[in-house]
Amino acid sequence: MIPLLMFLVVCLALMLGYPVAFTLGGVALIFAGLGVALGGFDPSLLNALPNRLYGIMENQTLLAVPLFVLMGVILEKSRVAENLLDTMGRLFGRFPGGLGISVTLVGMLMAASTGIVGATVVTMGLLALPTMIRRGYDPALATGSIAATGTLGQIIPPSIALVLLGDVLSNAYQQAQLNMGIFNADTVSVGDLFVGALVPGLLMVLLYMAYIITRALINPALAPAIRDSEQQQGSLLLDCLRGLVPPLLLIVAVLGSILAGLATPTEAAAVGAVGATLLAAWQRQLTGPNLWEIMLSTTKVTCMVFAILIGATLFSLVFRGFGGEEMIHRVFEAMPGGVFSAMLLVMVVIFLLGFILDFIEITFVVVPIVGPVLLAMGIDPVWFGVMIAVNLQTSFLTPPFGFALFYLRGVTPDSIPTLTIYRGVAPFILIQIVTLSLIAIWPSLATWLPDIVYPS
C-alpha cells in the first residue's frame, strides 16, 4: 500500500499549497529514504534518474513546449484576441446570439493558440464579458460561454496539453508493448494526438454554437442582436481581412504542416512562433516593454513545465520501485467488467484530480502510472489521450472547484453572483459529457482521421 500512500501524501501536500515540482520530488525522496532505512526499497533504482533527466533534455518533442508557449504569449500580448472579437462581433452581431457565436469562435482560436485554460478564460473574460453584458446578454449565458470556450485549449490542437500528453503516452505505449514482450514496438506521436483531437474538438465547438443559437431563437432577449445603428462604421470586408485572416493563416500553417506531413509538431511550433512574432511586429506590438513581458512569461511557463516534469520523473521512479505499477495491474485485473471498469475508474479519478491538479501534473504523474497498464489491456493510445483531454476539460469547468470558474470569477464584476456563473456553465458541462460519451461509444471519432493521415 506504500505507492497508494505516496499518491495520497502528494495530493495532501498540493492541497496545502506547496509547489508542485518540489512536492513531487520531495515526497519521492522522503519515501525512498524511509524505504531504504526499513529495507523495503532498492537505492540502486535511483541510479536511473540521471539518464532519465538527460532523456528529458534531449527530447525533441518537448522542444515544442517553449515554442508553442511563445506563440501563445505573443498572440495574447499583441491584441489579436481584441481585434478578432471586434471583427467577429461586427460580422455575426446582427443576428440573435451572434455575439455569443463570435465569442465561441474567437475563444476557439485563442485556446488553440495559447493552450492554457487560465490565459484564455481571463483574456476572454476581460474583453468579451463587459461587451456582452452591455449588449443585454443574459449573465449566465455570457459567463457560461466564456468559461466553456476557455477550456477548449485542452482539446483544440495545436495545444500544449496535447504536446505533453502525446509525449507521455508515447513513452507509456512503448513500455506497455515491452511489458507484453513486443520488442518491435509501434509508436504513437504528438501528431497522432493532434489529428485525433481535431474532430472531437470541432464537434464540441459546433455543439456550443448550436446551443447558443437555440437559446437565442427560443428567447431572443437572452442574446439580442446588435442593432445596425450600433455597428461600427467602415469597410467590414477589409476589417475582416485584417483581423481574421492573419491569425487564421498562422493556425492553418501550423496545423496544415503537421497534417500534410511537411513538419513535425516541434518544427510546426517553430513556424508558429516565428509567424506570431511577425504578426505582432506587423501590428506594431513588439515594443520594448511588451517584448520583455513576452520573454519573461514564456520563460516562467517553460521552467514550470520542465520543473514539474523532473519532479514527476523522480516520483514515478520511486513509485515503480515500491511496486506501484504491479499493484495497479492487479487492481485492474481483479475488477469486474475488465477493460471497461478499469477505464471508467481511471476517468473518474482523473476527473476528481482535475479539481486540485492542473493538466500538467495529471499528465506527468497519473498517466505514466496507469497508462502502461491500460494500454497493455488493448486500449488505443490516441483514443485514450483524447478521452483524457476531454475529461480534464469537463473537470476544469465543473463547480465548485473547476479551475476555469476560479479564473472567470476573478475578472467578473461583483454584480454577477457565483451561482449565476454555475448556472451558466451547466449546459456546457452537459455538452462536454455528451461529447465524451460519443467518443467512448464511437472511438472512431478520435481514431478515424489519424488512420487516414498517418496510414500504417
Provide the 10 A C-beta neighbour count for residue 72.
29
Q: How confident is the model over 292-324, as pLDDT tens digits?
A: 988 998 898 888 888 888 888 898 888 888 888
Residue 442: predicted pLDDT: 93
Taking the C-alpha atoms of residue 342 and residue 394, their distance in angstroms, rounded to an integer, is 20
3-state SS track over 6-49: HHHHHHHHHHCCCCHHHHHHHHHHHHHHHHHHHCCCCHHHHHHH
Residue 230: predicted pLDDT: 47
Residue 185: predicted pLDDT: 66
Residue 456: predicted pLDDT: 61
Residue 236: predicted pLDDT: 66
| % the chain with pLDDT above 90 | 19
Cα atoms found within 13 Å of the Cα of residue 416, Cβ hemisphere only = 25
Are 402 and 352 contacting, i.e. CB atoms less than 8 angstroms apart? no
% helix, strand, coil for the chain, step of 5: 80, 0, 20
Statement: residue 114 has pLDDT above 70? no
Statement: residue 129 has pLDDT above 90? no
Closest C-alpha among 142, 146, 162, 143 to residue 81: 146
Selected residue with higher pLDDT from 116 and 130: 130
Peptide bond into 265 cis (omega under 30): no
Taking the C-alpha atoms of residue 164 and residue 161, their distance in angstroms, rounded to an integer, is 5
Provide φ and ψ at 323, rounded to 5°.
Answer: 85, 25
Residue 55: predicted pLDDT: 84
Statement: residue 139 has pLDDT above 90? yes
What cell was used for 224? Answer: 439580442
Taking the C-alpha atoms of residue 440 and residue 456, their distance in angstroms, rounded to an integer, is 23
Quickly tell me which residue has 496545502 as its cell. Answer: 16
Statement: residue 229 has pLDDT above 70? no
Taking the C-alpha atoms of residue 313 and residue 319, their distance in angstroms, rounded to an integer, is 10
Q: What is the pTM of this model?
A: 0.84
Taking the C-alpha atoms of residue 222 and residue 144, their distance in angstroms, rounded to an integer, is 13
Peptide bond into 399 cis (omega under 30): no
Statement: residue 94 has pLDDT above 80? no
Q: How confident is the model over 368-420, as pLDDT tens digits?
A: 888 888 888 889 999 999 999 999 989 888 887 787 888 888 888 888 888 99
Taking the C-alpha atoms of residue 150 and residue 404, their distance in angstroms, rounded to an integer, is 7
Taking the C-alpha atoms of residue 93 and residue 230, their distance in angstroms, rounded to an integer, is 10
Provide φ and ψ at 284, rounded to 5°.
Answer: 60, 45
Statement: residue 95 has pLDDT above 70? yes
Statement: residue 352 has pLDDT above 80? yes
- 134-to-84, 97, 124, 209 alpha-carbon distances in Å: 19, 14, 15, 21
Are 126 and 150 contacting, i.e. CB atoms less than 8 angstroms apart? no
- 357-to-14, 228, 283 alpha-carbon distances in Å: 8, 46, 37
Are 176 and 376 contacting, i.e. CB atoms less than 8 angstroms apart? yes
Taking the C-alpha atoms of residue 192 and residue 293, their distance in angstroms, rounded to an integer, is 33
